[in-house]
Chains A and B, each alone.
Chain A
Amino acid sequence: MPPPSALSLKGVRKAFGPVQAVDGLDLEVPEGTCVGLLGPNGAGKSTTMRLLTAQSIADEGTIDVLGFSLPGESKQARAVMGLVPQLDNLDTTLTVRDNLRVFVRLYRVPRAEREDAIRRALEIATLTERADTKVDALSGGMRRRLLIARALVHRPRLVLLDEPTVGLDPQVRQELWALIDRLRSEGVSILMSTHYIEEAERLADTVTVMAEGRAVATGRPKDLILEHAGRTVLEVYGPPEHLRTVETAAQDAGHDHRRTGTSVAILRAEGLGGSLAGHAGHERAANLEDVFVALTGEEVA
């Protein structure tokens, strides 16, 4: 028997007018794992998140969340999951504590456990010292930590993270990664949409690459890399005409390659031979970014 799914989408389609935002998406989050939903802007990641909280209703397909079938049983599902939205929607004129106080009510934490839940959330967000500070006065990183902690007050079994670190400093981002990693180690199932490759690579057990509303590849990061980009990548630098020659050679030899601004990256460089072998370049390990570009044809931020 396969491990139970915290979340499962099958053949989900959703159009907004003429725009097919989600186009036959299959997606699985096995319980206790972190799945990264990786895709460029407009790939349908945010629509997928909205479908999972039933703030959008799918045109076709089935969605199951923690054993509840959406949209009919979405309220039950929402009671046992948490959403960290991409856009900060904290009550900025309220204190940190009051923001949490509202959400322990909305998430129906029993009265006797509310104070504990708030204390725990403050600890998770490492904002205990700032509990009585108004959100207005918090830094961007603190606000994001509060946004995450707010989604955890009811100890959800599934957490949806919609671009959790978008627009934050690298240092703050690492702080949040530690927080998310801790959640994962506690056995919470996580679906995290992101367009930061490194984020997916570090946190996700499996990654689903999404393009134009559907999943184009799913697997563990290292399997995906091996399958779609090989072991090593050769980066060849040089003047534009030289790069064009290299591209043509790669084309002829049937090697996937991509232009990365100042260089040409040739995937699966471990099998390199013939006219390509002679090109001097910098050999490096293939990474998820290579996969992403190979699959979606888009460069990433």
Chain B
Amino acid sequence: MSAGPETPPGSGSDRDGGAAAGAVVPATAGPRRRLGRLERLAIEGVMTREVINWLSFWKSSTFSSTVEPTIYLLAFGFGFGSIVSEIDGYDYVDYVGTGTVATSVLFGSAFSAMFGSFVKREFQRTYDAILAAPVDVEELVTAEALWMAIRASVYGCFPLLVAMIFGLDPAWGMLLVPLLCFPCAFGFASFGLLISAIVRSIDSFSYYQSLILTPLFLVAGTFFPLDGLPRGIQIASELNPLHHLVELVRGAAFGFDGWHDVARFAALIVFALVMWRLAIRQSTKRLIT
């Protein structure tokens, strides 16, 4: 989804070498020189920065994004597990182990997008530096969301690995988990970038955290089934991307639910695309004055 139909692969690279020799630039820019939108080179450039930075702090980043869901898994798995042994026909540790994949994706994408991008924009002025290079806001946002989505999709697998230690049976379908996580992670990373582009102060994140993210995370079918909840909440949960991801991951572990799961995956893609465009629009407003 990174590349829209208008992506011209590798356009513009022809000029880079020529500039070195101080070649004369024609007074008018011909179509050959027109740089397109969502260029691979620009997106790769921004992602390179993210990867190089990540390599310098991957330990702490990986720690916070994987340990927290693991703690949830252990606390609920063993805490509730001692009271509840089975839910919906699943062993409770298996139930929570598959469910916290979504939690991990959320923490790895939305939170790092909100705080990370705020810091890069307001304190480190990184975005100013990037936007002075041939990178547009659209590419910047896309690259940031892509990188965070890839990272969060990988982090999302950790709870499964931990749950395996505690008895979750491996299944081939689990290899699909990173792929299932990706659109959801991309959507939440974009959501984080969107919120970051809205707020004036870093403290304001707590409103969005408390009013949007925490409810989404608790009412996703991660720790308890939604059947017992009031009907209104059940219907509302169909709008919760995390709920769809939770169900898809359980599908990957225990068997998919045919077209129903295809529809869930499609919903995640729609979520991702909508958030992506909104993040671009709001970020442009914020960054280009």
User: Quick check: which of B21-29, B77-85, B105-113, B217-225 contacts chain A, the rest being far away?
Assistant: B21-29
Proximity string of chain B (129-150) to chain A, C-beta cutoff 8 Å, 1 when within and 0 when not? 1111111100000000000000
- Residues in chain A near residue B12, CB distance under 8 A: 76, 79, 108
- Please, which residue of chain B has its CB at the minimum distance from the CB of A153? B133
- Residues in chain B near residue A89, CB distance under 8 A: 124-126, 128-129
Proximity string of chain A (228-255) to chain B, C-beta cutoff 8 Å, 1 when within and 0 when not? 0000000000000000000000000000
Q: Is B52 an interface residue (CB 8 A)?
A: yes
- Residues in chain B near residue A16, CB distance under 8 A: 289
User: Quick check: which of B43-51, B229-237, B257-265 contacts chain A, the rest being far away?
Assistant: B43-51
Residue pair B28, A67 in contact (C-beta under 8 Å)? yes
CB within 8 Å of B: which of A71-111? 73, 75-76, 78-80, 83, 85, 87-94, 98, 101-103, 105-110
Residue pair B135, A106 in contact (C-beta under 8 Å)? yes
CB within 8 Å of B: which of A239-291? none
The answer for the CA separation of A209 and B56 in the assembled complex, in Å, is: 45
User: Quick check: which of B33-41, B186-194, B208-216 contacts chain A, the rest being far away?
Assistant: B33-41
Where the two chains meet, the residues of A that have a C-beta atom closer than 8 Å to any C-beta of B are 4, 16, 50, 53-57, 66-69, 73, 75-76, 78-80, 83, 85, 87-94, 98, 101-103, 105-110, 113, 154-157, 187
Residue pair B129, A85 in contact (C-beta under 8 Å)? yes
Residue of A53, A57, A109, A113 near B131 (CB, 8 A) is: A53
The answer for the CA separation of A265 and B41 in the assembled complex, in Å, is: 57
Proximity string of chain B (5-18) to chain A, C-beta cutoff 8 Å, 1 when within and 0 when not? 00000001101110
For chains A and B in complex, what number of residue pairs have CB atoms within 8 angstroms? 129
Residue of A68, A94, A103, A154 near B16 (CB, 8 A) is: A154
- Residues in chain A near residue B133, CB distance under 8 A: 78-79, 103, 106-107
Where the two chains meet, the residues of B that have a C-beta atom closer than 8 Å to any C-beta of A are 12-13, 15-17, 19-20, 22, 25-29, 33-35, 41-42, 44-46, 48-49, 52-53, 56-57, 124-126, 128-136, 287-289
Residue pair A105, B34 in contact (C-beta under 8 Å)? no
Given A106-B46, A154-B19; A79-B53 close (CB under 8 Å): no
The answer for the CA separation of A108 and B14 in the assembled complex, in Å, is: 10
* Pairs A–B under 8 Å by Cβ, sample size 15: A55-B128, A55-B288, A68-B29, A76-B12, A76-B35, A80-B25, A87-B125, A98-B56, A101-B52, A102-B45, A102-B52, A105-B49, A106-B45, A108-B16, A154-B19
- Please, which residue of chain B has its CB at the minimum distance from the CB of A71? B288
The answer for the CA separation of A79 and B135 in the assembled complex, in Å, is: 9
The answer for the CA separation of A144 and B51 in the assembled complex, in Å, is: 24
Given A107-B133, A108-B45; A93-B19 close (CB under 8 Å): no
Given A76-B35, A108-B41; A155-B20 close (CB under 8 Å): yes
The answer for the CA separation of A103 and B45 in the assembled complex, in Å, is: 8
B32 to nearest A CB, angstroms?
A: 10
Supply 8 further A-B pairs (C-beta < 8 A) apart from A102-B45, A155-B19. Answer: A57-B289, A67-B25, A67-B28, A76-B33, A85-B129, A98-B52, A107-B16, A154-B16
A76 to nearest B CB, angstroms?
A: 5
A46 to nearest B CB, angstroms?
A: 11
Residue pair A80, B19 in contact (C-beta under 8 Å)? yes
The answer for the CA separation of A94 and B53 in the assembled complex, in Å, is: 7
Residue pair B25, A66 in contact (C-beta under 8 Å)? yes
- Residues in chain A near residue B22, CB distance under 8 A: 155, 157, 187
- Residues in chain A near residue B15, CB distance under 8 A: 76, 79-80
- Please, which residue of chain A has its CB at the minimum distance from the CB of B37? A75
The answer for the CA separation of A171 and B209 in the assembled complex, in Å, is: 49
A10 to nearest B CB, angstroms?
A: 15
Residue pair B126, A75 in contact (C-beta under 8 Å)? no
Residue of B19, B41, B48 near A157 (CB, 8 A) is: B19
- Residues in chain A near residue B57, CB distance under 8 A: 93
B233 to nearest A CB, angstroms?
A: 44
- Residues in chain B near residue A93, CB distance under 8 A: 53, 56-57
Residue pair B132, A55 in contact (C-beta under 8 Å)? yes
A231 to nearest B CB, angstroms?
A: 39
B249 to nearest A CB, angstroms?
A: 34
Residue of A75, A87, A110 near B35 (CB, 8 A) is: A75
Residue pair B289, A55 in contact (C-beta under 8 Å)? yes
Residue pair A91, B19 in contact (C-beta under 8 Å)? no
Task: Choose among B20, B34, B42 the residue with the greatest number of A CB atoms under 10 Å from its CB.
Answer: B20
Task: Choose among B17, B41, B125, B133 the residue with the greatest number of A CB atoms under 10 Å from its CB.
Answer: B133
